[in-house]
A and B are shown apart, each in its own frame.
Chain A
Amino acid sequence: MTTMDTHSKSSDTGTPGWKRYAFADHFRNAEDEFDACKLGFWLFLATEILLFSGLFCAYAMFRLLYPEAFAAGSHHLDVFYGGINTLVLLLSSFTVAMAIRCAQRDNQKWLRINLIITIFCAFLFFFIKIAFEYIPKWQQGIRPGILYSNPFAAHPQEPTWWSVYYGATSVHALHVLIGAGLLSWCLYRSIRFKAYGPKHYTMLENAGLYWHLVDIIWIFLFPLLYLIH
Protein backbone atom coordinates (compact mmCIF):
# COMPACT_ATOMS: atom_id res chain seq x y z
CA MET A 1 0.00 0.00 0.00
CA THR A 2 1.59 3.23 -1.09
CA THR A 3 -0.44 6.32 -0.37
CA MET A 4 0.06 9.82 0.88
CA ASP A 5 -0.83 9.28 4.50
CA THR A 6 -1.08 12.89 5.48
CA HIS A 7 -4.81 12.88 6.05
CA SER A 8 -4.87 10.06 8.57
CA LYS A 9 -4.57 10.38 12.32
CA SER A 10 -0.92 9.37 12.10
CA SER A 11 -0.08 12.90 11.08
CA ASP A 12 -0.15 13.71 14.77
CA THR A 13 2.78 11.42 15.45
CA GLY A 14 5.20 14.14 14.43
CA THR A 15 6.84 12.47 11.44
CA PRO A 16 6.97 15.08 8.65
CA GLY A 17 4.59 14.42 5.77
CA TRP A 18 7.37 14.45 3.20
CA LYS A 19 9.12 11.58 5.03
CA ARG A 20 5.97 9.49 5.22
CA TYR A 21 5.17 10.04 1.57
CA ALA A 22 5.47 6.99 -0.67
CA PHE A 23 5.20 7.22 -4.43
CA ALA A 24 2.25 5.67 -6.24
CA ASP A 25 2.27 1.98 -7.19
CA HIS A 26 2.50 2.49 -10.92
CA PHE A 27 5.76 4.43 -10.79
CA ARG A 28 9.18 2.83 -10.68
CA ASN A 29 10.49 5.30 -8.14
CA ALA A 30 9.82 8.71 -6.63
CA GLU A 31 11.94 10.42 -9.28
CA ASP A 32 9.81 9.03 -12.09
CA GLU A 33 6.68 10.17 -10.33
CA PHE A 34 8.12 13.66 -9.87
CA ASP A 35 9.14 13.85 -13.53
CA ALA A 36 5.75 12.62 -14.75
CA CYS A 37 3.89 15.13 -12.58
CA LYS A 38 6.11 17.91 -13.78
CA LEU A 39 5.80 16.97 -17.44
CA GLY A 40 2.03 16.97 -17.02
CA PHE A 41 2.19 20.37 -15.41
CA TRP A 42 4.37 21.79 -18.20
CA LEU A 43 1.79 20.57 -20.71
CA PHE A 44 -0.86 22.40 -18.69
CA LEU A 45 1.33 25.51 -18.68
CA ALA A 46 1.52 25.21 -22.47
CA THR A 47 -2.28 25.46 -22.66
CA GLU A 48 -2.14 28.49 -20.38
CA ILE A 49 0.43 30.16 -22.64
CA LEU A 50 -1.83 29.48 -25.62
CA LEU A 51 -4.79 30.99 -23.76
CA PHE A 52 -2.84 34.21 -23.23
CA SER A 53 -1.48 34.00 -26.79
CA GLY A 54 -5.01 34.61 -28.02
CA LEU A 55 -5.24 37.76 -25.90
CA PHE A 56 -1.81 38.98 -27.04
CA CYS A 57 -2.85 38.27 -30.63
CA ALA A 58 -6.00 40.40 -30.18
CA TYR A 59 -3.81 43.13 -28.71
CA ALA A 60 -1.40 43.00 -31.66
CA MET A 61 -4.12 43.10 -34.32
CA PHE A 62 -6.13 45.93 -32.75
CA ARG A 63 -2.99 47.92 -32.10
CA LEU A 64 -1.97 47.52 -35.74
CA LEU A 65 -5.40 48.79 -36.75
CA TYR A 66 -5.79 51.64 -34.25
CA PRO A 67 -2.41 52.76 -32.86
CA GLU A 68 -3.74 56.18 -31.73
CA ALA A 69 -6.62 54.61 -29.83
CA PHE A 70 -4.12 52.47 -27.93
CA ALA A 71 -1.84 55.43 -27.25
CA ALA A 72 -4.78 57.55 -26.06
CA GLY A 73 -6.18 54.77 -23.88
CA SER A 74 -2.81 53.86 -22.41
CA HIS A 75 -2.41 57.53 -21.47
CA HIS A 76 -5.17 57.03 -18.85
CA LEU A 77 -3.25 54.25 -17.08
CA ASP A 78 -0.95 55.16 -14.22
CA VAL A 79 2.57 53.78 -14.68
CA PHE A 80 3.01 54.13 -10.90
CA TYR A 81 0.42 51.46 -10.06
CA GLY A 82 1.51 49.26 -12.96
CA GLY A 83 5.15 49.54 -11.85
CA ILE A 84 4.33 48.82 -8.19
CA ASN A 85 2.35 45.76 -9.26
CA THR A 86 5.27 44.60 -11.42
CA LEU A 87 7.62 44.82 -8.43
CA VAL A 88 5.07 43.04 -6.21
CA LEU A 89 4.83 40.13 -8.67
CA LEU A 90 8.61 39.94 -9.19
CA LEU A 91 9.15 39.83 -5.43
CA SER A 92 6.54 37.08 -5.07
CA SER A 93 8.24 35.07 -7.83
CA PHE A 94 11.49 35.36 -5.91
CA THR A 95 9.91 34.25 -2.62
CA VAL A 96 8.23 31.25 -4.23
CA ALA A 97 11.61 30.20 -5.70
CA MET A 98 13.09 30.63 -2.22
CA ALA A 99 10.25 28.57 -0.72
CA ILE A 100 11.14 25.67 -3.04
CA ARG A 101 14.79 26.00 -2.09
CA CYS A 102 13.76 25.86 1.58
CA ALA A 103 11.73 22.71 0.93
CA GLN A 104 14.73 21.11 -0.79
CA ARG A 105 16.85 21.88 2.27
CA ASP A 106 14.15 21.05 4.85
CA ASN A 107 13.96 24.57 6.22
CA GLN A 108 10.30 24.38 7.27
CA LYS A 109 10.15 27.76 8.99
CA TRP A 110 11.42 29.82 6.06
CA LEU A 111 9.43 27.72 3.64
CA ARG A 112 6.30 29.00 5.37
CA ILE A 113 7.54 32.58 5.71
CA ASN A 114 8.35 32.69 1.99
CA LEU A 115 4.94 31.25 1.12
CA ILE A 116 3.19 33.78 3.36
CA ILE A 117 5.05 36.65 1.66
CA THR A 118 4.11 35.25 -1.76
CA ILE A 119 0.43 34.97 -0.87
CA PHE A 120 0.45 38.45 0.65
CA CYS A 121 1.97 39.81 -2.60
CA ALA A 122 -0.72 38.04 -4.63
CA PHE A 123 -3.51 39.72 -2.69
CA LEU A 124 -1.67 43.05 -2.69
CA PHE A 125 -1.47 42.88 -6.50
CA PHE A 126 -5.17 42.08 -6.73
CA PHE A 127 -6.09 44.84 -4.28
CA ILE A 128 -4.08 47.49 -6.17
CA LYS A 129 -5.59 46.35 -9.45
CA ILE A 130 -9.16 46.55 -8.18
CA ALA A 131 -9.01 49.51 -5.80
CA PHE A 132 -6.76 51.91 -7.72
CA GLU A 133 -7.36 50.90 -11.31
CA TYR A 134 -10.58 49.01 -12.06
CA ILE A 135 -12.97 50.83 -9.70
CA PRO A 136 -11.95 54.45 -10.49
CA LYS A 137 -11.95 53.69 -14.21
CA TRP A 138 -15.30 51.95 -14.08
CA GLN A 139 -16.84 54.83 -12.11
CA GLN A 140 -15.70 57.29 -14.78
CA GLY A 141 -17.53 55.24 -17.38
CA ILE A 142 -14.28 53.85 -18.76
CA ARG A 143 -15.59 50.34 -19.38
CA PRO A 144 -14.94 47.67 -21.99
CA GLY A 145 -16.65 47.62 -25.38
CA ILE A 146 -20.32 48.52 -25.58
CA LEU A 147 -20.46 49.24 -21.82
CA TYR A 148 -18.16 52.23 -22.40
CA SER A 149 -20.01 55.35 -21.18
CA ASN A 150 -17.34 58.02 -20.97
CA PRO A 151 -18.09 60.97 -23.28
CA PHE A 152 -14.47 62.19 -23.44
CA ALA A 153 -12.96 59.51 -25.67
CA ALA A 154 -9.93 60.73 -27.57
CA HIS A 155 -10.46 58.28 -30.41
CA PRO A 156 -13.51 56.48 -31.86
CA GLN A 157 -11.87 53.12 -31.11
CA GLU A 158 -10.97 53.83 -27.50
CA PRO A 159 -13.67 51.37 -26.30
CA THR A 160 -11.81 48.67 -28.26
CA TRP A 161 -8.61 49.45 -26.39
CA TRP A 162 -10.49 49.20 -23.07
CA SER A 163 -11.92 45.84 -24.15
CA VAL A 164 -8.39 44.56 -24.71
CA TYR A 165 -7.20 46.12 -21.45
CA TYR A 166 -10.00 44.71 -19.30
CA GLY A 167 -9.95 41.37 -21.10
CA ALA A 168 -6.21 40.75 -20.72
CA THR A 169 -5.85 42.12 -17.18
CA SER A 170 -8.97 40.42 -15.80
CA VAL A 171 -7.94 37.00 -17.13
CA HIS A 172 -4.51 37.63 -15.63
CA ALA A 173 -6.02 38.77 -12.30
CA LEU A 174 -8.09 35.59 -12.23
CA HIS A 175 -4.85 33.63 -12.55
CA VAL A 176 -3.38 35.64 -9.68
CA LEU A 177 -6.31 34.57 -7.50
CA ILE A 178 -6.03 30.91 -8.58
CA GLY A 179 -2.28 30.99 -7.91
CA ALA A 180 -2.89 32.51 -4.47
CA GLY A 181 -5.35 29.70 -3.80
CA LEU A 182 -2.86 26.99 -4.83
CA LEU A 183 -0.10 28.51 -2.71
CA SER A 184 -2.47 28.89 0.25
CA TRP A 185 -3.26 25.22 -0.02
CA CYS A 186 0.48 24.47 -0.05
CA LEU A 187 0.93 26.67 3.01
CA TYR A 188 -1.89 24.85 4.84
CA ARG A 189 -0.37 21.45 4.04
CA SER A 190 3.05 22.67 5.06
CA ILE A 191 1.80 23.93 8.44
CA ARG A 192 -0.50 20.96 9.07
CA PHE A 193 1.63 18.07 7.79
CA LYS A 194 5.10 19.42 7.01
CA ALA A 195 4.16 18.08 3.62
CA TYR A 196 7.20 19.39 1.68
CA GLY A 197 10.79 18.38 2.20
CA PRO A 198 13.91 17.23 0.33
CA LYS A 199 12.38 13.98 -0.87
CA HIS A 200 8.92 15.23 -1.79
CA TYR A 201 7.81 18.68 -2.88
CA THR A 202 6.06 17.99 -6.18
CA MET A 203 2.95 20.04 -5.41
CA LEU A 204 4.95 23.02 -4.21
CA GLU A 205 7.16 22.85 -7.31
CA ASN A 206 4.15 22.85 -9.64
CA ALA A 207 2.33 25.62 -7.74
CA GLY A 208 5.57 27.60 -8.04
CA LEU A 209 5.73 26.98 -11.80
CA TYR A 210 2.16 28.27 -12.11
CA TRP A 211 3.03 31.37 -10.12
CA HIS A 212 6.09 32.10 -12.28
CA LEU A 213 3.91 31.84 -15.38
CA VAL A 214 1.52 34.43 -13.91
CA ASP A 215 4.56 36.64 -13.31
CA ILE A 216 5.83 36.20 -16.89
CA ILE A 217 2.44 37.13 -18.37
CA TRP A 218 2.49 40.35 -16.35
CA ILE A 219 6.10 41.05 -17.43
CA PHE A 220 4.72 41.25 -20.98
CA LEU A 221 1.38 42.92 -20.17
CA PHE A 222 2.95 45.76 -18.20
CA PRO A 223 4.96 47.40 -21.03
CA LEU A 224 2.30 46.57 -23.62
CA LEU A 225 -0.45 48.29 -21.64
CA TYR A 226 1.29 51.00 -19.62
CA LEU A 227 4.34 52.10 -21.58
CA ILE A 228 3.08 52.71 -25.10
CA HIS A 229 2.58 56.02 -26.85
Chain B
Amino acid sequence: MHADTTHAFDPNDPHHFGDLGEHKGHHINSTRLLVTIILTLVFFTGLTIFASRFETFLSSDLGWHLPDWINIVIAMSIAVVKGALVIMFFMGLKHENPLYTVILLFCMFTFALFLGFTGLDLDNRGHVDSWKQSSITEGGIGGPIPHPGGTFRDKTTGELVTIPAGGYTGALTEHLRTQYIAQTGITEEEYMRRWAKANHVHLEDPAHARSDANRSVPRVGLTGALDQTEPTATDDSNAPSGH
Protein backbone atom coordinates (compact mmCIF):
# COMPACT_ATOMS: atom_id res chain seq x y z
CA MET B 1 0.00 0.00 0.00
CA HIS B 2 1.21 3.49 -0.71
CA ALA B 3 0.84 6.62 1.36
CA ASP B 4 -2.62 8.11 1.31
CA THR B 5 -2.31 11.52 -0.37
CA THR B 6 -5.89 12.59 0.26
CA HIS B 7 -5.43 12.68 4.07
CA ALA B 8 -9.09 11.90 4.57
CA PHE B 9 -9.80 11.39 8.25
CA ASP B 10 -10.55 7.80 9.14
CA PRO B 11 -11.83 7.46 12.73
CA ASN B 12 -10.55 3.85 12.82
CA ASP B 13 -7.07 4.88 11.71
CA PRO B 14 -6.53 8.53 12.65
CA HIS B 15 -2.75 8.37 12.24
CA HIS B 16 -2.81 6.51 8.91
CA PHE B 17 -0.93 3.55 10.33
CA GLY B 18 -2.71 1.43 7.78
CA ASP B 19 -0.79 3.23 5.04
CA LEU B 20 2.62 2.17 6.26
CA GLY B 21 2.62 -0.88 4.05
CA GLU B 22 3.45 -3.33 6.81
CA HIS B 23 1.02 -5.99 5.61
CA LYS B 24 2.40 -7.78 2.63
CA GLY B 25 0.06 -10.74 2.78
CA HIS B 26 0.78 -14.13 4.34
CA HIS B 27 3.63 -16.24 3.17
CA ILE B 28 2.49 -19.52 1.63
CA ASN B 29 5.03 -22.33 1.75
CA SER B 30 5.37 -24.35 -1.44
CA THR B 31 4.71 -28.08 -1.20
CA ARG B 32 8.18 -28.68 -2.57
CA LEU B 33 9.78 -26.73 0.29
CA LEU B 34 7.71 -28.53 2.93
CA VAL B 35 8.56 -31.94 1.45
CA THR B 36 12.26 -31.01 1.35
CA ILE B 37 12.13 -30.00 5.00
CA ILE B 38 10.40 -33.18 6.19
CA LEU B 39 12.86 -35.35 4.25
CA THR B 40 15.77 -33.42 5.74
CA LEU B 41 14.30 -33.93 9.22
CA VAL B 42 13.95 -37.68 8.63
CA PHE B 43 17.54 -37.79 7.36
CA PHE B 44 18.82 -36.03 10.49
CA THR B 45 16.80 -38.41 12.69
CA GLY B 46 18.55 -41.33 11.02
CA LEU B 47 21.89 -39.54 11.31
CA THR B 48 21.57 -38.97 15.06
CA ILE B 49 20.64 -42.64 15.65
CA PHE B 50 23.51 -43.73 13.41
CA ALA B 51 25.99 -41.46 15.23
CA SER B 52 24.96 -42.95 18.57
CA ARG B 53 25.16 -46.53 17.26
CA PHE B 54 28.49 -45.84 15.58
CA GLU B 55 29.94 -44.56 18.82
CA THR B 56 28.76 -47.71 20.63
CA PHE B 57 30.31 -49.78 17.85
CA LEU B 58 33.65 -47.95 18.17
CA SER B 59 33.85 -48.54 21.92
CA SER B 60 32.45 -52.08 22.12
CA ASP B 61 33.92 -53.62 18.96
CA LEU B 62 37.07 -51.61 18.33
CA GLY B 63 37.79 -50.47 21.86
CA TRP B 64 38.02 -46.83 20.86
CA HIS B 65 36.53 -44.86 23.71
CA LEU B 66 35.65 -41.37 22.58
CA PRO B 67 35.49 -38.63 25.21
CA ASP B 68 32.16 -38.46 27.06
CA TRP B 69 31.18 -35.06 25.72
CA ILE B 70 31.22 -36.13 22.05
CA ASN B 71 27.97 -38.11 22.44
CA ILE B 72 25.99 -35.19 23.81
CA VAL B 73 27.56 -32.58 21.50
CA ILE B 74 26.71 -34.57 18.35
CA ALA B 75 23.19 -35.38 19.54
CA MET B 76 22.41 -31.79 20.57
CA SER B 77 23.95 -30.26 17.44
CA ILE B 78 21.71 -32.39 15.25
CA ALA B 79 18.69 -31.66 17.46
CA VAL B 80 19.34 -27.90 17.22
CA VAL B 81 19.50 -28.10 13.41
CA LYS B 82 16.25 -30.11 13.34
CA GLY B 83 14.54 -27.72 15.74
CA ALA B 84 15.72 -24.72 13.71
CA LEU B 85 14.29 -26.23 10.51
CA VAL B 86 10.90 -26.78 12.17
CA ILE B 87 10.87 -23.27 13.64
CA MET B 88 12.03 -21.48 10.50
CA PHE B 89 9.91 -23.26 7.91
CA PHE B 90 7.06 -25.21 9.54
CA MET B 91 6.39 -22.46 12.07
CA GLY B 92 7.27 -19.85 9.44
CA LEU B 93 9.55 -17.76 11.60
CA LYS B 94 11.74 -17.06 8.57
CA HIS B 95 8.97 -14.98 7.01
CA GLU B 96 7.43 -13.69 10.21
CA ASN B 97 7.56 -10.61 12.35
CA PRO B 98 11.08 -10.54 13.93
CA LEU B 99 9.36 -9.89 17.24
CA TYR B 100 8.58 -13.62 17.48
CA THR B 101 12.26 -14.39 17.03
CA VAL B 102 13.00 -12.02 19.89
CA ILE B 103 10.48 -13.90 22.06
CA LEU B 104 12.21 -17.17 21.17
CA LEU B 105 15.67 -15.75 21.94
CA PHE B 106 14.34 -14.48 25.25
CA CYS B 107 13.30 -18.07 26.07
CA MET B 108 16.77 -19.34 25.18
CA PHE B 109 18.34 -16.67 27.38
CA THR B 110 16.06 -17.59 30.29
CA PHE B 111 16.87 -21.28 29.83
CA ALA B 112 20.55 -20.38 29.99
CA LEU B 113 19.84 -18.56 33.26
CA PHE B 114 18.06 -21.64 34.63
CA LEU B 115 21.03 -23.83 33.76
CA GLY B 116 23.62 -21.31 34.89
CA PHE B 117 22.22 -20.51 38.29
CA THR B 118 21.18 -24.09 39.10
CA GLY B 119 24.65 -25.23 38.11
CA LEU B 120 26.28 -22.53 40.23
CA ASP B 121 24.21 -23.61 43.22
CA LEU B 122 24.96 -27.29 42.70
CA ASP B 123 28.67 -26.63 42.34
CA ASN B 124 28.87 -24.58 45.52
CA ARG B 125 26.79 -26.70 47.92
CA GLY B 126 29.91 -27.72 49.80
CA HIS B 127 31.51 -24.33 49.71
CA VAL B 128 31.63 -22.75 53.15
CA ASP B 129 33.30 -19.40 53.70
CA SER B 130 35.36 -19.51 56.88
CA TRP B 131 33.72 -16.36 58.25
CA LYS B 132 30.33 -18.04 57.97
CA GLN B 133 31.42 -21.38 59.33
CA SER B 134 30.32 -20.79 62.90
CA SER B 135 26.74 -20.11 61.86
CA ILE B 136 26.32 -23.23 59.70
CA THR B 137 23.81 -25.81 60.89
CA GLU B 138 23.06 -29.14 59.32
CA GLY B 139 20.08 -29.13 56.97
CA GLY B 140 18.10 -31.70 55.04
CA ILE B 141 15.38 -34.08 56.13
CA GLY B 142 17.93 -36.46 57.60
CA GLY B 143 16.47 -39.69 56.24
CA PRO B 144 14.92 -41.41 53.26
CA ILE B 145 11.21 -41.55 52.45
CA PRO B 146 9.76 -45.00 53.32
CA HIS B 147 9.16 -47.16 50.28
CA PRO B 148 5.40 -47.55 49.66
CA GLY B 149 5.86 -51.15 48.53
CA GLY B 150 4.96 -52.48 45.12
CA THR B 151 4.16 -55.54 43.05
CA PHE B 152 6.04 -56.07 39.83
CA ARG B 153 6.51 -58.77 37.24
CA ASP B 154 9.99 -60.22 37.47
CA LYS B 155 11.44 -59.90 33.98
CA THR B 156 13.81 -62.81 34.54
CA THR B 157 11.32 -65.40 35.83
CA GLY B 158 7.96 -64.01 34.74
CA GLU B 159 6.60 -64.24 38.28
CA LEU B 160 4.86 -61.57 40.30
CA VAL B 161 6.92 -60.39 43.26
CA THR B 162 5.72 -58.05 45.98
CA ILE B 163 8.08 -55.77 47.85
CA PRO B 164 6.41 -54.91 51.17
CA ALA B 165 6.13 -51.31 52.24
CA GLY B 166 8.67 -50.09 54.73
CA GLY B 167 11.48 -47.79 55.64
CA TYR B 168 15.11 -48.49 54.96
CA THR B 169 18.57 -47.13 55.47
CA GLY B 170 21.08 -46.74 52.68
CA ALA B 171 20.08 -46.61 49.03
CA LEU B 172 16.56 -47.49 47.86
CA THR B 173 18.02 -49.79 45.20
CA GLU B 174 19.95 -51.74 47.85
CA HIS B 175 16.77 -52.03 49.94
CA LEU B 176 14.90 -53.41 46.93
CA ARG B 177 17.70 -55.88 46.25
CA THR B 178 17.73 -57.29 49.77
CA GLN B 179 13.93 -57.38 49.94
CA TYR B 180 13.82 -59.23 46.62
CA ILE B 181 16.34 -61.82 47.81
CA ALA B 182 14.34 -62.24 51.05
CA GLN B 183 11.01 -62.60 49.18
CA THR B 184 12.24 -65.10 46.60
CA GLY B 185 14.73 -66.97 48.81
CA ILE B 186 17.44 -67.04 46.14
CA THR B 187 21.18 -66.98 46.69
CA GLU B 188 23.41 -64.00 46.05
CA GLU B 189 24.88 -65.77 43.00
CA GLU B 190 21.42 -66.42 41.58
CA TYR B 191 20.55 -62.77 42.14
CA MET B 192 23.64 -61.64 40.21
CA ARG B 193 22.74 -64.02 37.39
CA ARG B 194 19.22 -62.53 37.20
CA TRP B 195 20.62 -59.01 37.56
CA ALA B 196 22.89 -59.58 34.55
CA LYS B 197 19.95 -60.96 32.56
CA ALA B 198 17.73 -57.98 33.43
CA ASN B 199 20.46 -55.53 32.42
CA HIS B 200 21.62 -57.44 29.33
CA VAL B 201 25.22 -57.73 30.49
CA HIS B 202 27.73 -60.55 30.77
CA LEU B 203 29.13 -60.96 34.23
CA GLU B 204 32.42 -62.35 32.90
CA ASP B 205 33.15 -59.00 31.28
CA PRO B 206 34.80 -56.88 33.97
CA ALA B 207 33.80 -53.69 32.15
CA HIS B 208 30.17 -54.54 32.83
CA ALA B 209 30.51 -55.32 36.52
CA ARG B 210 27.90 -53.74 38.75
CA SER B 211 28.54 -50.04 38.89
CA ASP B 212 29.44 -48.57 42.24
CA ALA B 213 28.95 -44.97 41.11
CA ASN B 214 32.64 -44.22 41.41
CA ARG B 215 32.56 -42.25 38.21
CA SER B 216 29.89 -39.89 39.44
CA VAL B 217 31.24 -36.57 40.60
CA PRO B 218 31.27 -36.65 44.40
CA ARG B 219 29.07 -33.87 45.73
CA VAL B 220 28.48 -32.50 49.17
CA GLY B 221 25.50 -30.88 50.74
CA LEU B 222 22.87 -32.77 48.74
CA THR B 223 19.71 -33.60 50.63
CA GLY B 224 19.60 -37.33 51.18
CA ALA B 225 16.49 -39.07 49.98
CA LEU B 226 16.53 -41.95 47.53
CA ASP B 227 20.23 -42.48 47.87
CA GLN B 228 20.79 -41.96 51.54
CA THR B 229 24.47 -42.05 52.20
CA GLU B 230 26.57 -40.64 54.95
CA PRO B 231 26.88 -36.85 54.78
CA THR B 232 30.22 -35.87 53.31
CA ALA B 233 30.31 -32.30 54.58
CA THR B 234 33.95 -32.68 55.54
CA ASP B 235 35.04 -33.29 51.95
CA ASP B 236 38.64 -32.12 51.86
CA SER B 237 38.50 -30.29 48.57
CA ASN B 238 35.75 -28.02 49.86
CA ALA B 239 36.90 -27.60 53.43
CA PRO B 240 36.67 -24.03 54.68
CA SER B 241 40.40 -23.90 55.37
CA GLY B 242 41.03 -24.54 51.70
CA HIS B 243 39.99 -21.02 50.74
Contact = CB atoms under 8 A, between A and B. Distances in A.
Given A57-B118, A152-B199, A216-B86, A160 B226 contact: yes
A141 B79 contact: no
B28 interface: yes
Contacts of B163: 141, 149, 151
B114 A53 contact: yes
A223 B119 contact: no
Given A75-B200, A87-B45, A229-B55, A153 B31 contact: no
A103 to B, nearest CB: 10
Interface in B152-178: 152-156, 161, 163, 171-174, 176-177
Nearest to A47: B107
A157 B162 CA distance: 21
Query: Interface residues of A toward B: which range?
Result: 35 or more
Given A104-B28, A146-B226, A83 B79 contact: no
Contacts of B174: 156
B46 to A, nearest CB: 8
Given A29-B18, A68-B215, A49 B28 contact: no
A157 B226 contact: yes
B200 A98 contact: no
Contacts of A79: 49, 52
A64 B199 CA distance: 22
A134 to B, nearest CB: 14
B8 interface: no
Interface in A13-46: 28-29, 31, 35, 38-39, 42-43, 45-46
Nearest to A45: B103
Contact of A212 (B38, B78, B87, B200): B87
A105 interface: yes
Given A79-B49, A91-B38, A149-B150, A65 B83 contact: no
A113 to B, nearest CB: 14
B122 A31 contact: no
Contacts of A155: 173, 211, 213
B133 interface: no
Interface string B117-150: 0110010000000000000000000000101111
A37 to B, nearest CB: 12
A128 interface: no
Contacts of A53: 107, 110-111, 114
B234 to A, nearest CB: 20
A87 B45 CA distance: 8
Interface in A158-189: 158-160
Given A28-B17, A156-B171, A68 B211 contact: yes
A3 B43 CA distance: 46
Interface of B: 12-13, 17-18, 23, 26, 28-29, 31, 34-35, 37-38, 41-42, 45, 48-49, 51-52, 55-56, 68, 71-72, 75-76, 78-79, 82-83, 86-87, 89-91, 97, 99-100, 103-104, 106-107, 110-111, 114-115, 118-119, 122, 145, 147-156, 161, 163, 171-174, 176-177, 179-181, 191, 194-195, 198-200, 210-211, 213, 215-217, 219, 222, 226-227
Given A148-B176, A159-B172, 17 more contacts: A28-B12, A39-B100, A42-B103, A42-B104, A53-B111, A69-B216, A98-B34, A101-B28, A101-B31, A145-B226, A151-B177, A153-B177, A156-B172, A208-B90, A219-B86, A228-B71, A229-B71
The 10 closest A-B pairs by CB, nearest first: A141-B152, A149-B150, A151-B180, A223-B75, A152-B198, A153-B173, A227-B52, A156-B171, A94-B38, A53-B111
